[in-house]
Structures are given as C-alpha cells and as structure tokens.
Amino acid sequence: MQCYLVLGQERFLEPIYKGMEFYRISQDSCGAWGQQINMQMKAASARTYEPAAFLPGTTCENAMLLIRFYKLTGDKKFLEGIPKAIKWLEASKLPKEKQEGHRTHPTFVDAITHKPIYVHRKGSNVKFGRYYVDEDDKNLLSHYYGKAYVRLDELKDEYKKALNLSKKELIDNSPFTPKSFNLEGTPQKYYDLNRQASNFRVDASRVIEVVNQLDDKGRWLTTRAYISNPYIGDGTKTKPTDQYATTQVGDETDTSPYPNETDQEYISTGTYIRNMKLLINYIKSN
C-alpha cells in the first residue's frame, strides 16, 4: 500500500486486493480461522506444539483486519464473515470455571469436534522429549500457553461502528481515493505497516524517567532478560518425565530461551526498542 501511495502505479492494486481477499476466502465455513492452512484451505499443523486447529485469537485478529479492509475499500464483502466469526467466538468461549482472569478462550479448538484442545510436553530435552494434545487444561505449556485473551467485545464494538460509517467517511479516509498533493505531509500517513497502532501520546514525565535510566555509558540495562543454555550436544535422558511440563526450558542440553531469575544486568534489544519508540513518539507529538 505504501508503494502504491508513494509511486501511484496501478500495478500495485492487484496484489493489494489479492492480499486482502485471502483473509476473506481463508475463513472456514464455521466462521473461524486456523493459524496455518493447507492447499485445500483447511486448518493445518505447523510446529510440534501447533496442532491442526482453529484459534480464537487468530479468528478475532483476522476479523478485525477484515473490518480494516472494509474501511480502506468501502466494499461490504469484507464485513460478510464478521457475524459468523463473532458467533463462533461466543460459542468457543470457555465456561467461567475454566477461564483464567482475562484468558477467556482456549488457544486451540479442534477443527473437527470444535472442542478445546491443549498441548502438553513430556521429557527432558529435544531429542527424547515430545509434545502431545488432549482435552486436559492442567499442566499447560509456559512458552505457548493453552488459554488466550481474545478481544471479543472490542471486535463487536468495531463491527457496530463500521456498519454506521457513511460512504463519505469511507471515501474521505481511504488511501485508495485519489487526492491532490498540497505540498504538505506525506502519503504514508494513511497507512501503517504495523497491525497495531504504534503512535501514542507520551507524557514528559515518562521521557524524563526513561532518559534518567541510561547508565554512564548511555545504555539501558535490564534484569530478567531471556537467555539460553550453551549448546553441549544432544540430550541423553530418555525418561518421559513431567518435570519440565510447565517450565520454559528443559534440562541442561535444552537451548530454549528462558528468563534469568538473578539480578544479572543485560543490554536488551526489546528494552531499547520500547524506550526509543516512546522517545520518538514524544518528539512526533510535540
């Protein structure tokens, strides 16, 4: 979309519309989406802890994208699947006694039975460990939790708002509507590559706080950073233990990332990006 806006070449429109259309045609007839699909457009498995299933989180996210596509194009076909998605999300919601705080849905729903399914782990290491799926919601993975927060109320609200938008509002705000350049601003303001808005207002006190956190070498240091065991070869423990069923990492041969629980200080890319984004947004808004 940014290429189209900057260069104004109509050859970009076909792939843009194909990309948006794919979200529409990849929705299952029940209203849900799988995180991956096969060539028959059915939910497919991927990594060993990602079964062929429908995902409430992905379903909500894709439905929100379809609303966004409607706002970009004014084409009501992008809203057609939203009621089905909402109905499926309502039906897949966990009973109150199974919910955990804001986690209201299972991460995975069986694509055939439409029942919640949960992924578990046995073993100590990659070589002799394994993942398996059942309907038990105990001892869930910590690195890919079995229950999810789904923005269902927000989806419903956005859908209602979209239905009430006038044709003029859609046309005026669409990046596809030709406009005259008035020598101010840039076309990119109409579209952000990030799915979630990255622009936000920042209070000056937060800027002072972040700047004061720099050390004498101009670094932001953090504790509890994610680290990993150095590679020492394949695991040898063959027992199908549950010892590491809910931990971030297995035995000493497992190189999966896990948080360092000591007070060791690190330079964190994540902390750097978060703080720089805050500072940049402060400059942009002042």
Pull the structure tokens for residue 54: 């429908």
How far is it, in rounded angstroms, from Cα 145 to Cα 246?
A: 9
Domain-embedded: residue 146: yes
Domain boundary among 181, 212, 246: 181
Question: Do 105 and 218 have their domain in common?
Answer: no
Query: pTM to 2 decimals?
Result: 0.83
Q: What beta strand segments (E) does 67-202 contain?
A: 105-106, 108-110, 116-122, 130-134, 147-148
Question: Do 210 and 153 have their domain in common?
Answer: no
Q: What is the pLDDT along the chain (286 residues), one digit of tens a residue?
A: 878 877 778 899 999 999 999 999 999 999 999 999 999 999 999 999 999 999 999 999 999 999 999 998 999 999 999 999 999 999 999 999 999 999 999 999 999 999 999 999 999 999 999 999 999 999 999 999 999 999 999 999 999 999 999 988 887 778 787 766 666 666 555 555 565 555 567 889 999 999 999 999 999 999 999 999 999 999 999 999 999 999 999 999 999 999 999 999 999 998 999 999 999 889 888 7
Identify the domain containing residue 213 by its residue range. Answer: 204-284
Residue bearing tokens 């992008």: 78
CATH code of residue 121: 1.50.10.20
Domain-embedded: residue 49: yes
Question: Do 142 and 276 have their domain in common?
Answer: no
Q: Which of 261, 264, 267, 236 has the alpha carbon at shortest distance from 250?
A: 236
How far is it, in rounded angstroms, from Cα 271 to Cα 279?
A: 12
